[in-house]
Amino acid sequence: MIEPRVLPPGATLGVLGGGQLGRMFVGRAREMGYRTYVFDPDALAPAGTAADRFMHAPWSDRAALAEFAAACDAVTLEFENVPADVLEFIADYSIVAPAASAVRVAQDRLLEKQMFYALGIPTAEFAPVCAHADIPGAIARTGLPAILKTARLGYDGKGQASIASQADCEAAFRLFGEVDCILEQRLALHKECSVILARSADGSVESFEPGENVHHGGILHTTLVPARIPNETTFEAIRLAERIADALKYVGVMGVEFFVTDDKRLYINEIAPRPHNSGHWTRNGDTICQFEQQLRALCGLPLGQPRLLVPVCMINILGDVWPEEGEPDWSAALALPNVCLHLYGKAEARPGRKMGHINVISCESEDEALAIAESAWLLLQRREPPPLNP
């Protein structure tokens, strides 16, 4: 294992995964004077076209991984499903952050929930479902309605099913291929929120203002900052997120998702061992963005001190907004005040695929930022938005 050290500009930083998170990290790293090298099995990975070097090879290609790792001073990831054994392999050649031990927990919902339970952090009732025989006991513990989730490889609502009966659970378990799953109690939700934080190898931690999240079809639609939650809930969410990072001895940027129930109680949902979709607002609304914090943690540099500049709303642009022919109406959306467009360089728009996002900053209120963001999203689709308040 290569020990952490300070890496100044000029060093080569590797990224495992070539999606939009990697592309945004590469962009900030290059602005700060670093060289970048991306590894991804997809020849069309958008981060690969933005990096100084790109290695296109499967995760199982140890020779390619060794070549990649030997050329990097430090390596991070942008995709939580990079196999943990890949991180362990690369750690023999280069600094790796976050470590395989932390990523392995985040990749498995059952390990993740068990960690929350051990730390005394409130979470929905849960039970493992690894065989059909587990289902009656799991339902007895969680009650109904519930949610069945695959223990691994689920994101953006994939690998999840709503459960109203034992028959539902049986059918969903079969649909998921009878892989290991977890059954979770369905909570009565008031809001969803998330905390993005950065932690360095020396244990210093900096957290961004929590964001209020709304999902459509299991995919994040908007993040509004500051979140419209009580101050005590804000402070508690940050405290719990930082506690998890410390317990994992985490190095890098982490997203921590929470539920706020109708009775205003806070429950943790899951963690992501990487920058997070709900942190994209930091590119325009804060003194430092999550991708620079990722770089600073990786390179042993002092973390920046996040400060929310103005209320801001991030809204995702999915492939759904593309017409059958042509492009979304960029001009109409960009004619609105304080609209900042970020596209990811993906070759093909498909329904449900994240193609970019818009950040809207507001000098007035978070409600204004949200209204403008929703209007921009409708205008991209050539749909008439409601009038904005003067």
pLDDT tens string, the chain, 390 residues long: the values are: 788 899 999 999 999 999 999 999 999 999 999 999 999 999 999 999 999 999 999 999 999 999 999 999 999 999 989 999 999 999 999 999 999 999 999 999 999 999 999 999 999 999 999 999 999 999 999 999 999 999 997 665 678 999 999 999 999 999 999 999 999 999 999 999 999 999 999 999 999 999 999 999 889 999 999 999 999 999 999 999 999 999 999 999 999 999 999 998 999 999 999 999 999 999 999 999 999 999 999 999 999 999 999 999 999 999 999 998 889 999 999 999 999 999 999 989 999 999 999 999 987 899 999 999 999 999 999 999 998 875
Residue 209 pLDDT: 98
Task: Answer yes or no: do 223 and 273 share one domain.
Answer: yes
- As given in the structure block, the two tokens for residue 218 are 């299991």
Distance, CA of 264 to chain centre: 24
Task: Answer yes or no: do 162 and 281 share one domain.
Answer: no
Task: Answer yes or no: do 355 and 208 share one domain.
Answer: yes
Contacts of 363 (CB under 8 A, 6+ apart): 310
Other CB atoms within 10 A of residue 363 CB? 11
The H or E element spanning position 373 is helix 366-380
* 149 and 109 Cβ atoms separated by less than 8 Å: yes
Q: Is residue 119 part of a domain?
A: no
Q: In what order do the strands lie in the sheet with 12-16?
A: 53-56, 35-40, 12-16, 74-77, 95-96
The three-state secondary structure class of 359 is strand
Question: Which structural domain range is residue 338 located in?
Answer: 189-380
Residue 157 pLDDT: 60
Count structural domains, the chain: 3
Q: Is residue 59 part of a domain?
A: yes
Here the CATH number for the domain that contains residue 137 is 3.30.1490.20
What's the CA gap between 370 and 225, in Å, rounded? 9
Q: Considering Cα of 205, then 208, then 212, then 214, what sign does the dihedral take?
A: negative
Other CB atoms within 10 A of residue 85 CB? 12
The H or E element spanning position 339 is strand 339-343
Last residue of a domain, one of 185, 209, 236: 185
Distance, CA of 368 to chain centre: 25
Residue 41 pLDDT: 96
* 169 and 148 Cβ atoms separated by less than 8 Å: yes
Other CB atoms within 10 A of residue 304 CB? 15
End-to-end CA distance of the chain: 59
Here the CATH number for the domain that contains residue 38 is 3.40.50.20
Rg (alpha carbons) of the chain, rounded to whole number: 21
Task: Answer yes or no: do 234 and 342 share one domain.
Answer: yes
The three-state secondary structure class of 65 is helix
What's the CA gap between 191 and 216, in Å, rounded? 14
Residue 324 pLDDT: 86
Task: Answer yes or no: do 52 and 135 share one domain.
Answer: no
Task: Answer yes or no: do 28 and 131 share one domain.
Answer: no
Distances (CA, A) of 94 to 10, 12, 219: 16, 11, 34
Q: Is residue 109 part of a domain?
A: no
Task: Answer yes or no: do 264 and 346 share one domain.
Answer: yes
**pTM, 2 dp:** 0.95
Residue 155 pLDDT: 63
Q: Is residue 352 part of a domain?
A: yes
